[in-house]
Amino acid sequence: MEQHAEQQAQPSPANTPSPSYPVTMTQKAVEMVSTTRSQEGIDEDSGLRVAVRGGGCSGFEYALDFENEVRDTDLVYEQHGLRLIVDPISARYLTGTEIDYVFGMQGAGFKFNNPNAIGTCGCGSSFTV
């Protein structure tokens, strides 16, 4: 049995990121994750892994995946009833990031508001630090 510290995120008054939790999600983003999980028949106990990977046109890209496996070094916490999983390397690049779900002229999707990114590509899914 894996051992890890499951931590409960406390809501903040202005929905600002907590220093101990690298990523916050808006209520709309959590609703869309829940809708997607339901439509794809994914187990409701699965968490959402938020990660940064090398790639994309700007050097790094964001990744969102449903996952049940948690590593000993992962930071695991809940927000709006959704379990978030972030590895320690990704946490360094994501600190202060808010994930929202937006509708716009070019479609709908998750938007990462990352204060660490000094540049992004036109599609918004990759960034530089």
For residues 9 and 18, give the distance between their C-alpha atoms in angstroms, rounded to a whole number.
Answer: 8
For residues 114 and 51, give the distance between their C-alpha atoms in angstroms, rounded to a whole number.
Answer: 13
Residue 90 near residue 98, CB atoms below 8 Å:
no
Name the CATH topology of 23-128.
Hypothetical Protein Aq_1857; Chain: A; (2.60.300)
pLDDT digit string, tens, across residues 44-65 = 889 999 999 887 665 788 899 9
Task: Determine if the pTM surpasses 0.85.
Answer: no
For 91, the enclosing helix (H) or strand (E) is: helix 88-94
Give the per-residue pLDDT at 81.
Answer: 92
Under the banding of pLDDT at 50, 70 and 90, the label for residue 17 is: very low
Q: Is the pLDDT of residue 89 over 70?
A: yes
Listed by start position, the domains of the chain span 23-128
Under the banding of pLDDT at 50, 70 and 90, the label for residue 24 is: very high
Q: Averaged over 9-29, what is the pLDDT?
A: 65
Q: Averaged over 60-74, what is the pLDDT?
A: 93
Give the per-residue pLDDT at 63.
Answer: 92
| 106 vs 1, higher pLDDT | 106
Q: Which residues contact 46 (CB under 8 A, 6 or more apart)?
A: 37, 66, 67, 68, 83
Helices and strands (H and E) in the chain: how many: 2, 10
Q: Is the pLDDT of residue 28 over 80?
A: yes
